[in-house]
Structure 1
Amino acid sequence: MSSTPTPGTGPARVVVVDDHAMFRAGVRAELGHAGAGVVEVVAEAADVDEAVAAVEAHQPDVVLLDVHLPGGGGAEVMRRARTEARFLALSVSDAAEDVIGTIRGGARGYVTKTITGAELVDAIRRVRDGDAVFSPRLAGFVLDAFSGTFEVAQIDTDLDRLTEREREVMRLIARGYAYKEVASELFISVKTVETHMSSVLRKLQLSSRHELTRWASDRRLL
């Protein structure tokens, strides 16, 4: 197991974990633009098992980690990997439950995939050096959670009733998407969207999409 890196010395050694090969390639290219000696991608992984193996084999400074992965998600990687590496979440999701759950799982930071290459390089090096790094909007979720402004445990309990696909459908419907738009976004049929929506409303004990929008808004899931 590697020792904790000394701030500011040498390139930040990174394992990139994401289930989309094209995205991993894009991240590698962006990090490469920073130049030699700044960030070094030492391995990539596409699911939880691959990620755990790569992290334990390479003992990087930072693990750049997607939140939703085949095999259990980013939290499972953090739970299983025997490492002193620091974890930085890089996700398309900006939902409060993902941000809070990931930080509770042990991540030192959370940034969204709208981040620029230069910002990502800076975030990686800051996390390597011991800082906590968040996209500006997401920092508010963390502050609110730890100040008790909203009840994280209640969010977790409610969302535990939903499958990952039901959560995706729930969030899009609550944001005002039509069933046809949700189907197109998630590459599923309208009938499947309707089935998931019925299940979401039943599990959350809600009666309409209007109530669902209010429920999600109150919990900062939009």
Structure 2
Amino acid sequence: MRTFLVLFILVGLGFLAFPQNLWGNTFTDWPELTLRPEDILEVTFTFPLDASSLREDTVWVSEHESGEIPLAVRVTVTGEDPRKLQVFPLEERWPAGKTYYLFLGSGLRSQEGVPLGKPVRLSFRVLAPEGAEPPAASEPAPSHVATGPGEVLQAAAKALDALDFAALRELLSSDLRQSLEGDPAVSEEEVRKVARALREAREVEVSSDEAFYEMTVDGVTYPITLKREGEEWKIERF
């Protein structure tokens, strides 16, 4: 059975919001995937997943885009790598020729208590046998990489806490990186303040390719702008 990988990032994903579903949530929507009937849908998070947060209202599959009438599926966190969530059909094969929707609710969280943020909906189409052609053995299984703006800010805060400015630069936009040279000439205390402010930053507005946040340092509020570069969010200004 082939594993179909989706890389997922916890916290604050900023794509197209869909209408409210049966559970009263507004979902962030992801592009449709294509699976073969024998594929396993595997979601890899950035942090180890708290298995106790796996419930019928945090991970479920439905034939309906609203999330109604959940299907019976088996959901597990792999023992070898607790970052990986696997979703199996109970009959070991997805019924062919249909489109399904995987829902990840906001109650899903990491072992450190980091929440998913906005609930996510991921559609996947299962190929009919006569139309399915297995990929060449040398080709890797396709994957989708998602980096949410909220997660980028959390990663930036973590980099500053560790005084790891090289890691911080990787989170900056190409334009902002080019404008900076060397490590910032600030005290460790000031760096910690900025890290704390980034961790507590407030979301102002998020669209499909731009996000605006605010952070407060010593009583002064500063704007933060993030933009999408390819499939990743990068800090444009803070």
What is the TM-score when the length of structure 2 is the normalising length?
Answer: 0.28
Whichever structure has more strand as a proportion of its residues is 2
Name the larger-Rg structure.
2
Whichever structure has more helix as a proportion of its residues is 1
